[in-house]
Structure 1
Amino acid sequence: MTSQITFDAPVVIGKINSGSQLYIALINAGTLKSEPGFEPAVDAQVLFGTDHFKVTDDMKYVTIDVKAALK
């Protein structure tokens, strides 16, 4: 799968229980396409969504959690 998205600047939410810093970015447009031969074939438009990401204190690791509505 290949995804291209545009999103607003991230908003800093703050530290969470794990010690990581939480950010949220609003996704406002994009596309999601499957590679040739992938089943089921996907060729979708991203309507909107959010990207929640956590950055560890040492800035070595980032965990992303993307949720989006596709058409």
Structure 2
Amino acid sequence: MRGVRVNCVCPSIVDTPMSRTDMGRDNGFSDVRYPVQTPEEVAALVLFLASPASRPVNGTHLLSDFAMSAKSAFPMD
């Protein structure tokens, strides 16, 4: 089949009613010490992958986690 591309967006925590419930954050994420994405930020990534600008991108994942996965596990006091 031609013209079919498969990519995925892998966001970290997204501020949604479901994530608030699952993480026990009824009042939201405003007081946490880690970055939390908005649904609009994730939607912008999806729109990019669906746009002509991403035409050469295929078979990959777009990790969207504010570089948290690249952060060292060592304490940084």
> TM (normalized to structure 1)?
0.22
More strand by share: 1
Q: Which gives a bigger RCO, structure 1 or 2 (Cα 8 Å, sep 6+)?
A: 2
Q: Which has the higher helix share?
A: 2
* TM-score (norm: length of structure 2): 0.21
Tell me which structure has the larger Cα radius of gyration.
Answer: 2
